[in-house]
Amino acid sequence: MTTHMLQMIMILFPVGILSGIVSTTAGLASLVSYPALLSVGIPPVFANVTNTAALVMTGFGSTVSSQKELGDHKKDLIKVLPLTIIGSIFGSFLLLQQSSASFTKVVPFFILLAGLLLLTQVKKTSANKQEIALDGSTHSHKRTVISAIVIIAVLLVGAYCGYFGAAGGVMMLAILSSITSMPYSSYNALKNVSLGASNLVATLIYAFNSHIYWWLVLPLGLGLFVGGYIGPKIVRIIPERQLKLVVSLLAFGLAVDLFMKAYF
């Protein structure tokens, strides 16, 4: 193993821990891990697919750590999981059809949108909001419309996560927080598991149709597993408002940085 390879491994393991924590607390894993892969010289599209492969480990870590939250919401998970997987399949094939140049130019806007969505969620934590149970316990004439909107939204988030995924967790949190009365820690756990499955499906597609830097997946993935395990424990004790506010500001900063690199 060369010195350069060893240095990258030493960088990516702690980056993975931080990224896993950010992912499982606020849904912005790629805010940390994707730029790290770019910084070690991986081309944008390959950095994205390598990042997706590593993020699978976040799903495993958070699943182990979130048994308390998941125990009472397995039916809710069954409703969300297939939609994210179907969306992920579509998004993964879409990514494979795009050039590296077009991908680089569109990424900043994805992250900016995610930051705006997260900021909206920060504001909601300080106000009373209408909450709708996942079991559809609303008036019957509203139920069909609400269900259709939720299905489309979750499919689109799954597709986005298969395509790129940075801040896809933020988008999923925004959807789940508006349709459920369960606590943040519970629907955050649903988000972690469903997007972990989405990443797994996307990785299987990328493995046969793109190039994954597997030797970088190992240290990054191990770090993501550790961070994914730690994150749900943090969510139980730190108010979501503070977490989301900090990450939204980081998202805006990353969006500006990647925009400048792509267009100037």
pLDDT, tens digit (0-9, with 9 covering 90-100), for 116-146: 877 876 766 544 444 444 455 555 666 777 7
Residue 11: half-sphere exposure toward Cβ, Cα within 13 Å: 17
- Give the pLDDT mean for 50-56: 95
Q: Mean pLDDT throughout 90-102?
A: 79
* pLDDT of residue 42 exceeding 50: yes
In this prediction, residue 163 has a pLDDT band, given cuts at 50, 70 and 90, of: confident
pLDDT at 2: 74
Does the pLDDT at position 64 exceed 80?
yes
Mean pLDDT rounded to a whole number for the chain: 84
pTM of the model: 0.83
Range in 27-36, 39-48, 136-145 the model is least confident about? 136-145
Contact (Cβ atoms closer than 8 angstroms) between residue 131 and residue 60: no
Angle between helices 184-209 and 3-26 in degrees, nearest 10:
140
What pLDDT is stored for residue 79 in this prediction?
87
pLDDT > 70: percent of the chain? 90
Q: 184-209 and 140-163 are packed helices; what angle lies between their axes, rounded to 10 degrees?
A: 40
